[in-house]
Every structure is written in structure tokens, then in C-alpha cells.
Chain A
Amino acid sequence: MIKLENIDKVYRTKTVETLALQNVSINVGKGEFVSVMGPSGSGKSTLLNIMGLLDEPTKGVVSVEGNIIKAYRDKEIAKMRNRMIGFVFQSYHLIRDLSVLDNVQIPLLYRNMPSKERKQLAHKALDRVGLSARKEHFPSQLSGGQSQRVAIARAIIGNPEIILADEPTGNLDSTMGNEILDILIDLNKNESTTIIMVTHDERMADKSERIIRFFDGCQVN
């Protein structure tokens, strides 16, 4: 599904070079549920960004569904992100000015879909995460758990093959965190969506099929 080969990522400023990832090779298969763990600054988030095509590796090859990403051209990359990948962030990143229903529709906006169809799919996605009652609410009126569910609905609405979740439970208490994790597991089981989740929490990670550990930009086993 997603394959990283010999990835290096170097952050450069005028004076300092920071090596965020060093010779990382990972292969995530279709339908897998992978957790990525490691201390702060170990390169987990960088890894996720590269997997999600949000960032370009300094060296190495990324391929998604067998397509090798050669040139990171804005238009093509944006299209791939839109079709294949759904993102869930620690701090939800919902757009404050849009209602829940409108927030969820965002990925479909970039697919030139008629608004009626978009709405239908949004309703379905919200039903899927159990939030059908709050469609007209605004992000500021939601609790943390509800916000994250909206974010998941937004991630799944486009029917992506892969969901990348960056500490999705990091801002939530354990009950809510478990609920969110259950939704992700359910997606993985029933829709065979590939899920890659960055987390700090061993208990959360234990529920996944595979754990990849990171330390100082290197993969450790």
C-alpha cells in the first residue's frame, strides 16, 4: 500500500541541519493497522507527513499503491492526497467558520462533485461516526471527542484507502480516546481501510496489528 525505501529527511536552516529521518524503509500492506511509537522528536510526525505526501523526503523513494512518487508537483500530489489518503490530527483542525456538515464535505469539494451528492455522503460519514445529531453545529460547540469524530468523518468521506492519524487521542481523556480508537479499529476491520497511527500511548498501540518504533530518526526493532 505505502512503501518507503531508504528515506532520509533533513531539515535545513541557514546554519543548522537536523536529520529527522535516517535511512527509513517501511512497507505497509493493504488493510494493515500500524502504530508508530517513539519519544518526542524521534521523527514520527515527519514520517507520517512523508507518508501522507505533505512533505518531500530529502532522499529515498515513496510509493503509494505501486505508484512511485517522482516529482512532487503540487497538482498531482494534491490529487493523490485527495483520492487515497485521509488525515486525522491531534488538534482536530476543523475550520471554525464552517458547520460540521460543511467541514466534513471538504475533501469532496476538490473532486467537482455536485453539492447534493456531497451532502448525502457527508450524512453517511457522520452516521458512521455516530454524530448525526450535530450536523448543523459549529466546531466551537463540540467537545473534544465529538470534534475528533467529525475529523474522522472528514477523513473517511472520500473513501480513502489509507487513514493517517497523528496522535488522534492525544488531546482526549481515556474514555473518549477509546471511543475514537474503536471507530478506527472498526473501519480497519469492516472496510479494510489501511490505518497508520502515531501515538504515545502503549495501550492504544497494543490494539494495532503492528508497532513500528522510532528513536532519533531511526527505526528500531
Chain B
Amino acid sequence: MLENYIKIAWKVLLRRKFFTFVSLFGISFTIFVLLVATSILDHAVDPGRPQINQSRILVADRFMATDSARNSVWMSSPGFMLLNRYAKTLKTPELVSIHSGSNTYFTYMEGNKLNFTYKFTDDTFWQIYKFNFIKGKPFGKKDYNEAQHVAVITEYAARKYFYQTDVIGKFIEVDGTDYRVIGVVENVSKISSLIFSDIWVPATTSKDDIDNEFMGSFRLSVLAYSPDDFNEIRNEWHKHLRASVADLPENMVRLTTLKCVLKSNEEMIAELLIEPQENFDSKTTDQEQVVETAGISNYQLFYLVIAGVMLLFMLLPSINLVNINLSRMIERNSEIGVRKAFGATQKILVGQFITENIILTFIGGVISLIAAGITLSIINNSGIIMHAHLSLNFTVFIFGFITCVVLGFVSGVYPAFRMSKLHPVEALRGGSK
């Protein structure tokens, strides 16, 4: 039976080339756009190396301090001192790392202007995020504690600055200070903005007075033994945060309500796409509650919005396909009549037409897979997203597959239903209403 369905589907496709083209064009284009979008999204949600521990990592990058009346609100990233004193001492996570946001600087070489990004980090950073070292090694506890001027740089930075990657032991100028290169790593995609950089140096070598910074430009990454520990870690962090009020600097003493949420990767991305709503309900005086509810609703909303946008985007091509299918019904009246006369039930006919549509969608899916593959490699090479390595991985492929089935089904069901309902006498006469 299926063989016959496929055979006739193929014949039908070949006969009406223009309509096959229109249908395929619509299907491939729709799936193509969805594939590219998902692959970028997937790259952000699950970037792979160096974030292979992603599912066990929690990050805090925003800090807010308010007074009890909530008249004045201070917002920025947490400072080095706060994290160093109160986060480094956390007992529940496996590892804790403090790292700065991106700093950029220019340097001039032989009449060229070079632009680099650098970050201040600690030794545990390299244990939480597993960078691929091409040469050398990361800096360790000793380097960090002794504030050694050592740097880990990317392949990109090495090639830009030294024109080669064999640069261990050479000196690179980072924002006015020379650092000795001790490691060269593979480039990091700019999509992973939390860790993206060209150069990493120990935070202890910073010339700023970071030891007295309560608020500043640092982020906190913690690695949990398991995602089940997330709540426990959040609770412990919260206790520490409350204790940190004792160290508030002079100009902040009144701002005793502190908020600094540890977020999972999905929650971070959701926040990027949907502006977080700072919810200051006067009832939620208990901070713990604020911590608990902050990220989660965003996270769900994020997937809802994504699903909504995708559905909307699929709506127009689907209606288009339905219209084309309905039109084509007319020329297949006779076929429907004959099949019915010779014993096909409605169910069988619905099956046939849906199969036809799904086959068509699959061909479109294959075309779009190829097109998306080409487009992604163009994006990778163009540098629109720096050092991106977008690819059609398994997740994306599965997504494409599901899209095909859904699109084929959605655009096939109504016409198939209308077709199968056709009265055989009517169909054989060649007329329709």
C-alpha cells in the first residue's frame, strides 16, 4: 500500500512541475529559516566545548542593591571583593570561579591597529570551562595567588599578534602591560559571551582596586556536582549574600537589600531574548522568594515565545500549501471517484493524501537541510558571529525532521479530509461544489 502511495505521489509531483516547484519552494524556505534559527539557538543553549559542563553550571552576572524603601536602586555586575569573599567560600558546589566581563583595547603594530578583548579570571575558570589547548597550559593556583603576569590567548589572537601559534613564552601587550603567553586555546564563539575573549589573564594582576569593589564588572560561575544541587547552592549563596551586608562600602550602607541570582544557561539565554522584568512586588519582602522565582518564569516564557514565533512563521506557508492542495483536488476528482468505487475507504484516502504531502515535505526538508548547511558555513566563515562554529547537529536535524512532519501534516490534513469526503458519484461526474 505504502509503495503505491509513494509511486503515485512521485508521479503527481512530476506531472505538475510548476506546482511542485511552488510547494517545494515554500516548504524548503520555511524549514530552512527554522533550521538556521534553531541551529543558532542550539549553539547558544548547548555550545559544546568549552562549555561541556553546561548543565551543571550556574552563573550570576547581575547585582542589584536597594534600600528597604526601594527608593534608590543600584544595578551593575557584582564586584570582585563581594565574590572573592562570599562566593569563593561556598561549600555546596564542586568549583567556584570569578571572571570579569569583556574589556577591549587597541594596540598598534607596524602601522596597523589591532583590537583585542580580554578577561580577568582565576585558576578554577579553566577547570569549569574546558578549553581546548593547542599549546601550553592554563594558569594555576600559584600563578593566580602570586599575581604572575601570564596570559592564555586564542589562536586568533596569536595569529593576529605573532603571525603564528607557536608562541609559548613570548610576551603580548595587554592594555598597556606585557604578559607572558603560557597557553594557546581554540577560538571561542562570540555567542558564548560569558566566556568569549581573545586573552585571559589572572584577576590578581588587575591594576584597578578590585579588592575593594563591592559592585563592579565580575561574574560568578559555579559548577554543581549535579543539577539537583542547584537549589541548595542558591540557598547557600543567598545566606552568604545576606552576610555580605557587613562589608557594604560607605556609600552603600543603606542599600541592604541585595539581589544576585544564580542562573542556569537556559535562564541566561531567556533573559537575553526577553528583557527581565524586575519584579518589585511590595509583598515579596522575603528575598529567598525573589531568588526562587526570578529565573524560572522567564525560562518558560522564553520557550513559549519561541514556539509562538515558529508557529506564526509556519502559518503563512501552511495556508499557502493548503490552498494549492485544495486547488489540485479538482483535477484529481476522477482518481478519487475510481478509488472509492473500487473499495477505498475515506480513511485510506486520507492516508494517501497525507502521505503524499509528507513525502513532498521531506523532499523539501532535504533541500532545506542542504541550503541551511551551506548558509551556516557561510555564516561561520563570514565572521558575522565571531568564531562561531554553527553546524547542523543532531538536535537541529531532529528539529528539522519534526518540522517536516508537522508542516506536511498541517498542510495535508484539511485538503485530504475535503478530498476524501467527496461523493464518488460527484467525483466521477467531474464536477465539484
- Residues on A facing B (Cβ under 8 Å): 49, 52, 54-55, 74-75, 78-79, 81-83, 86-87, 89, 91, 93-98, 102, 105-107, 109-112, 115, 154, 158
Contacts of B341 in A (CB 8 A): 52, 54, 81, 87
4 closest A-B pairs by beta carbon, nearest first, are A82-B343, A97-B11, A107-B342, A78-B345
- B3 contacts A115, C-beta separation under 8 Å: yes
User: Shortest CB–CB separation between residue A183 and chain B, in angstroms?
Assistant: 19
Decide: B425 and A93 in contact? CB cutoff 8 A.
no
Instruction: Assess the B425–A98 pair: CB atoms within 8 A.
Output: no
Is A78 a contact of B344 with CB atoms below 8 Å? Answer: yes
Besides the contacts A91-B334, A95-B8, what 10 more A-B pairs have beta carbons closer than 8 Å? Answer: A52-B341, A55-B423, A78-B344, A79-B343, A89-B428, A93-B334, A98-B8, A102-B4, A109-B4, A110-B345
Contact indicator A78/B340 (Cβ below 8 Å): yes
Q: Are B15 and A96 in contact (CB-based, < 8 A)?
A: yes
**Most chain B beta carbons < 10 A, residue from A87, A93, A102, A105:** A93
Asked whether B49 is an interface residue with its Cβ less than 8 Å from the other chain, the reply is no
**From residue A107, how far is it (CB to closest CB) to chain B in Å?**
4
Q: Is the CB of A106 within 8 A of B348?
A: no
Whether A49 contacts B425 by the Cβ 8 Å rule is yes
Is B243 an interface residue when CB atoms closer than 8 A count as contact? no
Q: Enumerate chain B residues within 8 angstroms of A78, measured Cβ to Cβ.
A: 340, 343-345, 348
Cβ-defined partner of A75 (8 Å) among B12, B345, B424: B345
CB neighbours (8 Å) of B347 from chain A are 75
**Within 8 Å of chain A (Cβ to Cβ): is B339?**
yes
Within 8 A of A (CB), among B1-20: 1, 3-4, 7-8, 11-12, 15
Q: Mark B337-373, 1 if CB is under 8 A from A, else 0.
A: 1111111111110000000000000000000000000
Q: With the chains together, A153 CA to B7 CA distance in Å?
A: 21
CB distance from A32 to the nearest CB of B (A): 21
B residues in contact (CB < 8 Å) with A: 1, 3-4, 7-8, 11-12, 15, 334-335, 337-348, 423-425, 428, 430
Say yes or no: A93 contacts B337, CB within 8 Å.
Answer: yes
Count the A-B residue pairs with Cβ separation under 8 angstroms: how many?
76
B11, A98: Cβ atoms under 8 Å? yes
Q: Cβ of B15 and Cβ of A97 under 8 Å apart?
A: yes
- Least Cβ distance of A116 to chain B in Å? 12
Of A55, A111, A115, which one neighbours B425 at CB under 8 angstroms?
Answer: A55
Cα distance, A89 to B340, chains bound together (Å): 14
Q: Which of A49, A82, A106, A111 has the most CB of B within 10 A?
A: A106
| Chain A nearest CB, measured from B294 CB (Å) | 56
> Could you jot down 14 A-B contacts, CB within 8 Å?
A49-B425, A54-B424, A54-B428, A55-B425, A74-B346, A75-B345, A78-B345, A79-B345, A81-B343, A98-B8, A105-B4, A106-B339, A109-B344, A111-B343
Contacts of A52 in B (CB 8 A): 341
Q: List residues of chain A with CB within 8 A of the CB of B428.
A: 54, 89, 93
**B4 with A95: CB separation less than 8 A:** no
Given A49-B425, A78-B344, A79-B343, residue A106 in contact with residue B338 (CB < 8 A):
yes
Partner of B7 from the list A54, A87, A91, A102 (CB cut-off 8 Å) is A102
**Which residues in A have their C-beta under 8 angstroms from that of B348?**
78, 110
The smallest beta-carbon distance between A140 and chain B, in angstroms, is 10
Contact A97 B12 (CB under 8 A): yes
Q: How far is the CA of A158 from the CA of B343 in the complex (A)?
A: 11
Task: Say how far A167's CB is from chain B's closest CB, in angstroms.
Answer: 12
